[in-house]
Chain A
Amino acid sequence: MNFAATLGFGLPLGIGLAAIGSGIGIGFMGKGAMEAMGRQPEILPKLQVAMIIGFGFAEALTIYAFVTMFFLQGRIG
């Protein structure tokens, strides 16, 4: 099997898979935050901070895949 071709096929696919995962995570988090915000608007500042931190953690997973892609991008050839 050709290494470069495998890499060229796998890297975008991997990023897509990672993006699905963190997209679902961020979606759930946003949903929960929105619901809480609607139910209790005065909690907004505290909620926003926690939400952004959670977004950061969820988003980091995709970023890892992204960085891996940058490391391996030169090998595609």
Chain B
Amino acid sequence: MKLVDPRAGLLRAARRLVLVVGAGALGAVVCSTGVYLFVPAPTETLGAGQSGGSAPRSTPFTAGRPLGPAEQEALRLLRRAGRAQSETSYQGTKLFRSWSRWGELTATAFVRNVPGQGVTVASDEGSARSASGQRGVQIDTAEDSFDLSDETLDTLTSAYQIQVAAAERMLERPVTRVDVLRLSGTIVGRIWLDDATGLAVQRELLDTAGRVIRRTTFTGLSVLPTTSTPPPAAPAGPDECAGGLSARQLAELDGQGWDLPGTQLAGLTRVCARTVGTGADRSIQLSYSDGLFALSLFAQRGRLDSAVPGGFSRQQVGDTEVYLRCGLYRELSWAGSGMVYTLVTDASDATVTTVVGSLPTVAEDTGVLARMSKGIRRVGSWVDPFH
């Protein structure tokens, strides 16, 4: 009878297992090292209308061209319009209209401004989408921060020409129309300024085809007697970009995989970059302006909810499917490469299409080698969390 020691078999099996697993792991390490060394990390491809680099908001805007006497006069009127908010008490009904190829909207509101107390805006009957038709319900109070800063006007005169167009009458009041023209000479905006108070009583924005895409106008205006001495005007350029992100913080976000555009987007210059919300609701707001049009891009990490939000519809913008709503702004949400973008703007449809087409800037590579490269880097980040 032959007796076999069971421990000897176990030891032999263990030795063989170690040998086999070691050989396989060694092979995998060799192969992974090869992929890590020779397969490049995903690289950014810059989309249309986007440029690399970033600059903080404090970077001064430069008026790139000298202004003639006519433009200086128009600029003086616009500066006066900015100051009028903090010097004149008024109330009236304001009409807001917006047109785009995806829809249009008309809304009205009651507006009351008292220097030092801010602006009260109340919903009004007549709103095209108002179901209740409530009147006089206070919905918000905006702070008196409507001054046109030198910064804003510098941006405006860098991108556009301005000129005093004509003297007209609106609301039984003498007004002066200031036209904003592209450098090519076509009109892109018109602003009607009250001669007596300097207030802007109407504003129109036009697209490249000359169609009005946005109009804001007083349909009734009463200038109230000033009961007290108005407070001194706020310093030029109130910092609305509170909690702004520095260039270094934006670079860190880029390193963490946030796919964000640079300082230029669709011809507009970034005027603010900041964080909105916290935790899972954290968004990065990047606001751009050329002094006349403005857009804000909000970026979040994650994927877009498949349920279309109320009031939105699924639309195709360029090659991208978006959730879109035409309120007083063009409001769109779309997703790509692990990011969700939401755009709020009064800019033209062409600008919207450009922005949507330029984001995300990184095309997702789903190849096996790319996945291996990402997986190896992910394993590496377990070992070195700071890498």
User: A and B bound?
Assistant: no
Residues in chain A within 8 A of chain B (CB atoms): none
Residues in chain B within 8 A of chain A (CB atoms): none
